[in-house]
Amino acid sequence: MWTQEIKFFYLTIVSCLSASSAAEGVPVRLSGSTLCSGRVEIFYNNTWGTVCDDNWDINDAEVVCRELGCGTAQSAAVSASFGEGNGSISLDDVDCSGSERSLTECQHRGFGTHDCTHSQDPGVVCSVILPKPRISMIPAGKVDRRSDVSITCSISPQSQQLLQGEFTLKQISGSFSQKKLSTTNSATFKILQVDFDKDGLYQCEYSHDSSISTSDSVNVSVTVFLQQPSISVTSPDGGLVRVPDGSEIISGYSFVFTCTNNEHYPGGVFNLIFYGSNMKHTKHTKPSVNNSASFSFPVADFGHDGRYSCVYEITLSAGTFTSPEASSIHIIIIYSIMSVLRCVFLPLILLLENIALHYYYKVIKKQKSDKKENDETDVSRDEEVEAEEEAVQEIE
């Protein structure tokens, strides 16, 4: 009993496998004057053979056209209207519903079983639809000038096997155009050392006979990648103190920013960018000489407080290209000792001077009135002299 069930199971598997391999493994071709019309032939038992036209109709033709990627069927031909084949007649009484994926999936008498002659060889006429090719580009996105770009046009392997068409890569608004006959289903075009004339949109064309189908487009955007410059600050007269969150510069001292990089474009410039407390930024521009430019500030004042950075910029025929900004330097302006002296000690001295003068004149006044009253008091006279001396000392 078990043996019977196992046998049944085994047979089921074997019949499933053979059915699917029969459905997908039998190639079909058209032998005729044009690509998608001709006598139907199938490859079976290691040889190309024909089919018999018994029951041959538009549904059968539909399956053949679809299987070949030739679009839809326009007509089903009978009685060897595309000429007589030779060799074996592999299928007879083919009866497709029209929705089968391949001719050998349709009902038929069985491979090699027929009662026909080659005068009955059927054919099909299909409406060719050229498939739309695909396009892809490496690298994707912006392309550095002088680097290489490769653009690949492709189509399904079945279509290429059938059509053997040509791929053409075209620049939409430019002169670049290259054609390739490919044996595989794709063609890769290399554009070496791209310059600005290669900038723009590109499309693939797939052509067969005089028909052309066109792909979507890719954008080759040629740019100039510039490296990030670096920025440093010095104070020639020693007014700079480096602190954890930046550089302190004593007001009144000079300071100099130096921007540097390693680019070798002639005519490049450095821009010094200043971000003040109100985020307004001003730009100073200097040409790059030996890969650097210096920006001098002879007298530091509190308006210089803020962050500083630089960018490198070149202007070419295709436009202006800017590097990323250097990592910025935070400048903090601090009071100088001189200004501290001026601001704190000077008013103090003036104050003391005023007090002293006030006291002095008071004493003088008193002295005069005392003199009138009593001219002989030595003690008071001595006191007056002492006070006078003190006042003078304070002024000094």
Ligand X SMILES: *[C@@H]1O[C@H](CO)[C@@H](O)[C@H](O)[C@H]1NC(C)=O
- What are the residues binding ligand X (CB under 6 A)? 41, 45, 48-50, 85-87, 111-112, 142, 201, 219, 221, 289-290
Closest distance to ligand X from the beta carbon of 256 (Å): 14
**Nearer to ligand X by C-beta: 85 or 306?**
85
Q: What whole-number distance in Å separates Cα of residue 263 and Cα of residue 27?
A: 60
Helix or strand or coil: residue 47? strand
**Nearer to ligand X by C-beta: 130 or 194?**
194
Q: Where are the alpha helices (DSSP H) in the chain?
A: 2-24, 58-68, 157-163, 337-340, 346-373, 378-395
Q: What whole-number distance in Å separates Cα of residue 157 and Cα of residue 179?
A: 19
Closest distance to ligand X from the beta carbon of 137 (Å): 11
Give the chain's end-to-end CA distance (angstroms, integer). 133
At 105, give phi and psi (nearest 5°).
-80, -20
At 267, give phi and psi (nearest 5°).
80, 15
Closest to 209 (Cα-Cα) out of 165, 177, 179, 153: 165
Closest distance to ligand X from the beta carbon of 352 (Å): 54
Closest distance to ligand X from the beta carbon of 95 (Å): 20
The pair of structure tokens assigned to 76 is: 């089903």
Closest distance to ligand X from the beta carbon of 116 (Å): 14
Closest distance to ligand X from the beta carbon of 143 (Å): 10
**Nearer to ligand X by C-beta: 182 or 217?**
217
**Nearer to ligand X by C-beta: 19 or 289?**
289
**Nearer to ligand X by C-beta: 59 or 288?**
288
C-beta separation of 215 from 153 below 8 A: yes
The pair of structure tokens assigned to 353 is: 């001077």
**Nearer to ligand X by C-beta: 151 or 300?**
151
Residue 255, Cβ neighbours under 10 Å: how many? 24
